[in-house]
Structure formats: C-alpha cells, structure tokens
C-alpha cells in the first residue's frame, strides 16, 4: 500500500492529473471505436451514476480530513491552555523552583513553535519529542522537590494537577497529528476518479461532436479537489495550516512574567 504522505502535494497533483487524463483518453478512444447516439442507450445513466459515486466518495473523504484537521486545531488550543495554566500556577511556587520551572516552560513552548511553524522531517520531529520528554521529566522533578517541602493542595497540588494535564496534552496532540485519512481510502478515491473520467471520455467518444475539453476540465477539477483533501489532512505541508496563535500567545505570556 503506497504512503501518499511520502510525496509532495505537487507530485501527487501532477501524478493524479496525469492518471485521470490518461484514463479519460483511453475511454475516449474506446468510445470512438463504438460510435453511436448517446441518448440511444444507458450510457448517460451509467455516467451519471459513476460521477455520483465519485461525488459521494469525495464528500466522505473530505469529511474525514476535516474532522482530523479540527482535532489538530483543538489539540493545539488545549495544550496551549494547559501550558499557560501551568505557568501561572508555577508563579506561586517558592524560589528557586519558580524561576527554573518558568525557564523550562519557555523552552517547552519554543520547541512546540519550532516544529509547528515549518515543515520538519521525521528525524527532527523525533528529536523534538525526545527533548520535550526530557523537559517534562525536569518539570516533574521540580514538582517533586516542591512537594517534599510543602505537600499542601495550594499551590503545590494545583501545580501538579495542571502539569499532568500539560503532559497529557502532548500525547493527545501527537495522536491527532498521526491520525490521518487511511491510504486505502485515498487510493480508492484516485481509482474511482480515474474510472469516472474514463467513462466520461468513453461517452464523449461516442458522440457525433467529440470534444476533449469538457472531460479534461472535469479531470482537472477532480484532481484539484483531491489535492485539497490531501492538503487538509497534512497541515503545514501546503496552503492549509493549523493556527499556532494560541501557542504564540502562551509563549508571549510566559516571557512577560516579571515575578
């Protein structure tokens, strides 16, 4: 099973467009060999049915990609809120834990922004996750040190509670990032699109006035919609991206703390 996410959006668009147009041309040549009146048989009905199936599959796949996009957007907001709340409660901790905790949180947010605001390789992503885990452990050691001195619910207990939520936020965000439309669904989408355009080319070839332009325009639009779905399913790699403004606001807020 091919992994579509190993290829750029431009490569997928050109390859998909070429496959769809080749299928339409093959269908057209077959249709030319069997000329006839389009309205005299069930060709128009079958063509409409196949295009309807394609439209249904496009809508289904678009809904899948959109739900995953929204999950990633919500994960960014929830993690930013958890980090911000942790930083606010860290200001209640005694020194030197307050200063060290805020420093660790600043670096933690910086890592989030570095990997989210530009395309990164799998190696860079793994390194960022490893560094985040190290920072989480350092923050947890700070919490343990404070708890050893003061095990009260305020402020130690509240800080530990939000620190747990912040650590859980990383797992939820990574899960949302890795949850993509299955490759088999995308492969089926390309296959049905090629078959639908082949049938449209076949129907066009049977007409008395044979024109490639409407079939080619249809193929171009279908390819563009499929690439839009792929772009929506891999934010940051194309024109559609998940807004990092909540994380940017959190970073600015932590940097502005004076005590």
Query: Does 2 score more than 70 pLDDT?
Result: no
Measure the CA–CA gap between 106 and 247, rounded to whole angstroms. Answer: 11
> pLDDT value at position 39?
46
Residue 204 half-sphere exposure, CB side, CA atoms within 13 Å?
21
204, pLDDT greater than 90: no
List pLDDT tens digits, range 163-174: 999 999 999 999
pLDDT of residue 208: 63
Query: Which run of H or of E encompasses 141?
Result: helix 122-149
- The predicted structure's pLDDT at residue 120: 77
Query: By C-alpha distance, which of 167, 116, 175, 95 is closest to 138?
Result: 167
Residue 155 DSSP label: I
Q: Which residue has the higher pLDDT, 104 or 45?
A: 104
CA pseudo-torsion sign 85, 91, 97, 100: positive
Task: Tell whether the model's pLDDT for residue 96 goes beyond 60.
Answer: yes
Confidence (pLDDT) at 153: 67
pLDDT in tens, 10-61: 898 999 999 999 998 898 888 777 665 544 456 777 778 888 899 999 999 9
CB–CB of 145/160 below 8 Å?
no
- At residue 40, the pLDDT reads 47
Backbone angles phi, psi at 37, to 5 degrees: -80, 125
pLDDT at residue 83 in the model? 95
Q: What is residue 38's predicted lDDT score, i.e. its pLDDT? A: 46
pLDDT at position 209 is 67
Give me the pLDDT at residue 104, please: 95
pLDDT band at 212; cut points 50, 70, 90:
confident
Q: Which residue has the tokens 């668009």?
A: 13
The pLDDT confidence band at residue 213, using thresholds 50, 70 and 90, is confident
State yes or no: pLDDT of 219 exceeds 90. Answer: no
Question: Mind giving me the DSSP string for 54-99?
Answer: HHHHHHHHHHHHHHHHHHHHHHHHHHHHHHHHHHHHHTTSPTTHHH
Measure the CA–CA gap between 119 and 193, rounded to whole angstroms. 29
Mean of pLDDT values over 102-126: 88
What radius of gyration, in Å, describes the C-alpha atoms of the chain? 27
pLDDT at 164: 94
pLDDT category at 135 given cuts 50, 70, 90 is: very high
Dihedral of alpha carbons 88, 90, 93, 96, sign? negative
Is the peptide bond preceding residue 62 cis, with omega within 30 degrees of 0? no
| In the chain, where the domains are located | 4-255
**pLDDT value at residue 35:** 60
DSSP-assigned letter for residue 207: S
CA–CA separation, 94 and 232 (whole Å): 45
Question: Is the pLDDT assigned to residue 178 strictly greater than 90?
Answer: no
DSSP 243: -
């Amino acid at each position: 099973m091919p992994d579509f996410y190993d290829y750029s959006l431009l490569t997928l668009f050109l390859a998909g467009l070429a496959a769809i147009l080749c299928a339409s041309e093959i269908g057209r040549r077959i249709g030319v060999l069997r000329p006839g009146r389009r309205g005299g048989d069930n060709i128009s009905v079958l063509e409409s049915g196949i295009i309807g199936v394609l439209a249904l599959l496009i809508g289904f796949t678009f809904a899948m990609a959109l739900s995953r996009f929204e999950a990633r957007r919500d994960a960014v907001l929830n993690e930013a809120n958890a980090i911000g709340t942790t930083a606010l409660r860290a200001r209640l901790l005694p020194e030197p834990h307050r200063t060290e905790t805020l420093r660790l949180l600043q670096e933690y947010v910086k890592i989030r922004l570095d990997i989210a605001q530009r395309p990164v390789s799998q190696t860079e992503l793994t390194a960022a996750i490893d560094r985040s885990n190290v920072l989480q452990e350092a923050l947890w050691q700070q919490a343990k040190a404070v708890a050893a001195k003061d095990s009260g619910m305020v402020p130690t207990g509240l800080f530990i509670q939000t620190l747990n939520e912040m650590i859980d936020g990383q797992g939820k965000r990574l899960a949302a990032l890795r949850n993509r439309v299955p490759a088999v669904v995308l492969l089926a989408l390309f296959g049905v699109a090629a078959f639908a355009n082949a049938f449209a080319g076949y129907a066009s070839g049977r007409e008395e006035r044979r024109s490639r332009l409407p079939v080619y325009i249809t193929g171009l639009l279908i390819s563009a919609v499929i690439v839009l779905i792929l772009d929506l399913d891999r934010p940051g790699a194309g024109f559609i991206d998940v807004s990092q403004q909540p994380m940017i606001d959190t970073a600015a807020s932590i940097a502005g703390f004076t005590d």
